[in-house]
Amino acid sequence: MASALPSSSTTPSASDVNSSLSAAEREAIKAATFQRLHPRIYLERFLEEKIRPDGRSTAENIEDPNAWRNVEVNVGSITTALGSALVRIGKTTVVCGIKAEICEPELDNPDEGFLVPNVDLPALCSPKFKPGPPTEEAQVLSERLNEALGNGMLSLSSLCICSGKSAWVLYVDATVINYDGNVFDATLLAMVCALKNVSLPHADFDPELHRTVCTRSETDPSKPARKLAIQEDLIPLAFSFGVFAGSHLLPDPTASEETLLDTYISVILDAHAQVLAVSQLGAGVDNYEALGQGVNNLPSSREADALARCISLAKKRQAVLIKKVYNTST
Amino acid sequence: MQSAFDRRRINGPEDSYHPVFANKIQESPSNVHIIRENRKISDIRPIFLQPGLISQANGSAYIEMESMKIACSVYGPRQSKNTAYNEKGRLNVEVKFAPYSCELRRSPLRDAEDRSIAVAIQQALLSSVQLEHFPKSTIDIFLVIIEADGIEGCIASGSIAASTALADAGIDMYGLVTSCATAVIGTDLWIDPTQEESNTASGTLILSCMPALGIVTNVWQSGRIAPSEILACIDACNDRCTDIHSVVAQALLDSAHNKI
């Protein structure tokens, strides 16, 4: 299938090019044109056949792992950052890097350090973003990530160097390189893997000079760098779904599907598949029959609503994904 | 680093500074004697170049040279927002450093360094694109520097990535632009210097050219270099640029084969 619609300014020899294409390529261009002109009908036609445009299945069969895109995680590739991770969910690519700096703790919380997550949606990742200050979407994403990471997974008191005098502040910055839908899941995974990758250098606070001095583990082996005190049980993993036309539940939507959704559901689970947070923006599913088989093979009209189904789908997916996260991010 | 309260981002504490390490040897740059491991003075770092990585863009490229990682995407030709009619298209280059890309954390707000790199890359590419074919249009080139290792390296790798991305987008060009940087350390010319090496250099020079046509598009020199040395630098860079050109051409060819 042709990878991209030819750009609007066609080269002078466009008609010559078209005549030399095979029938399959011409069909592909027609399909791509149809998608650009009538995106909604394009998606509807696919969903009628119980399949999505990229070949995945919809959430009808709860056992089907094919509804989710492939996840790839790569940690520790950025040498200038203390911890880093690159996550790819399908084509969505997010890079997360962590820098640590020293500061004075707040007066109200003298024993706590700081965790500052931020996500950046640069103009590079999608044609809908322009260069400039963070858009509304970026701000909302940053805030949601701040809440997701602030659930106690990382003990802020472990970031304290000297009570009331000196503490670590971890700047967790994520940059989206390719925006192909479901950025929240990818960014949360990247931040979690990057945090697990961090090696914090040993720091001593000198009360006479009022300054903090760090030691590299190579120069002084008695003061080694340490990993962050992360509670493995509370590590969050997010799973997002979309509802199209009130009747089709689409896990892990791509960018082209995202623009057509009326409802967006997000479920965050911890390491033991317990629900940490859910969010539903929109009405949900009207047509229960279209959801297909229920959780316990009951007819779907017995299903409470789309949210319950999403939670059960997320738990199924998490069992598969958690092995990948733990294997690649030690 | 003073972080101004930015209400559009999650903010940390008002004032935080980069950790200071004990046993830091304070020496003036000229006294530091550095040796280059892994490669000769006249060798460039190995290049990994991958076009077409960003599916959302018209054209894209990702370049990696040891510890330098830059992603570039091209959008265009797009409609120009300016109401003034211009016969030739416009080339707009924007560079952004990721906060974790340098040794000291960079604020997400843009500063002068981003701008100067963008101008250098734009100058390198301007003569290679057939802008007369795109009246009233803008071609946007966005670069994100994921990991940086020397400003000269950023400009050189950035222009290689940008030129590859333009080719990947199918934009009409006269030729591929490749760049190479040289640093003068003592009496030697060190090709493709890293941050550490360019700190000890007395002068650096970046050459951008189109090897296929034998045309130089941009020369950027800073520091103190004798005129005879400058000519030697340009010759050394020119040879390297030809080598880089074959790498870029091969990468684009492989990527085109994979698309079919």
- pLDDT-derived band at B24 (thresholds 50, 70, 90) equals low
Q: Would you list the DSSP string of B95-140?
A: EEE-TTSSSSPPPSS--HHHHHHHHHHHHHHHTTB-GGG-TTEEEE
- Say if the Cβ atoms of B170 and A11 lie within 8 Å: yes
Sign of the CA dihedral with B240 first, then B246, B249, and B254 last? negative
Q: Is the pLDDT of residue A291 over 70?
A: no
What's the pLDDT score for residue A173? Answer: 94
Rounded mean pLDDT, B135-156: 93
Highest-confidence segment of A50-64, A143-157, B20-34: A143-157
What's the pLDDT score for residue B139? Answer: 94
Q: Compute the CA torsion angle A28, A29, A31, A36 (nearest 10 deg).
A: 140
Chain B positions in Cβ-Cβ contact with residue A125 (cut-off 8 Å)? 54, 56, 73
Measured between CA atoms, how close is A64 to chain B, in angstroms? 26
What's the pLDDT score for residue A295? Answer: 42
Among B18, B100, B103, whose Cβ lies nearest the Cβ of A173? Answer: B100
Q: What is the CA radius of gyration of chain A?
A: 23
Q: Is the pLDDT of residue B42 over 90?
A: no
What's the pLDDT score for residue A287? Answer: 63
Among B10, B20, B105, whose Cβ lies nearest the Cβ of A99? Answer: B105
Chain A positions in Cβ-Cβ contact with residue B96 (cut-off 8 Å)? 122, 124, 131
CB pairs under 8 A between A and B: 166
What's the pLDDT score for residue A7? Answer: 46
Among A79, A101, A178, whose Cβ lies nearest the Cβ of B67? Answer: A79
- pLDDT-derived band at A3 (thresholds 50, 70, 90) equals very low
pLDDT digits 0-9 by tens, A146-182: 999 988 888 888 888 888 888 999 999 999 999 998 9
Nearest CA in chain B to A90: B55
What's the pLDDT score for residue B145? Answer: 95
Q: Is the pLDDT of residue A186 over 70?
A: yes
Rounded mean pLDDT, B100-118: 88
pLDDT digits 0-9 by tens, A6-37: 444 444 445 555 567 788 888 888 988 998 89
What's the pLDDT score for residue B87? Answer: 87
Tell me the C-alpha distance between B34 and B88, whole Å: 47
Tell me the C-alpha distance between B183 and B34, whole Å: 13
What's the pLDDT score for residue A17? Answer: 54
Tell me the C-alpha distance between A161 and A173, whole Å: 22
Chain B positions in Cβ-Cβ contact with residue A215 (cut-off 8 Å)? 21-23
- pLDDT-derived band at A297 (thresholds 50, 70, 90) equals very low
Among A133, A171, A216, whose Cβ lies nearest the Cβ of B12? Answer: A171
- Top pLDDT among A61 and B212 is at B212
Interface confidence, given as ipTM, is: 0.88
Give the side-chain half-sphere CA count within 13 A for A241.
30
Q: Which of A37-41, A154-158, B59-63 has the lowest mean pLDDT?
A: A154-158
What's the pLDDT score for residue A294? Answer: 41
Per DSSP, the three-state class of B31 is helix
Chain B positions in Cβ-Cβ contact with residue A116 (cut-off 8 Å)? 10-12
pLDDT digits 0-9 by tens, A93-129: 999 999 999 998 888 888 889 999 999 999 999 999 9
pLDDT digits 0-9 by tens, B177-198: 999 999 998 888 899 999 888 8
The mean predicted confidence, pLDDT, of chain A is 83
pLDDT digits 0-9 by tens, B64-98: 998 899 999 999 898 887 768 888 889 999 999 99
Phi/psi at A285 (nearest 5 deg)? -90, 135
Measured between CA atoms, how close is A299 to chain B, in angstroms? 40
The mean predicted confidence, pLDDT, of chain B is 88
Optimal mutation site among A20, A79, A80, interface B, most CBs of chain B within 10 A: A80
In the stretch 89-108 of chain B, residues with CB closer than 8 A to chain A read: 94, 96, 98-103, 105, 108
Nearest CA in chain B to A101: B18
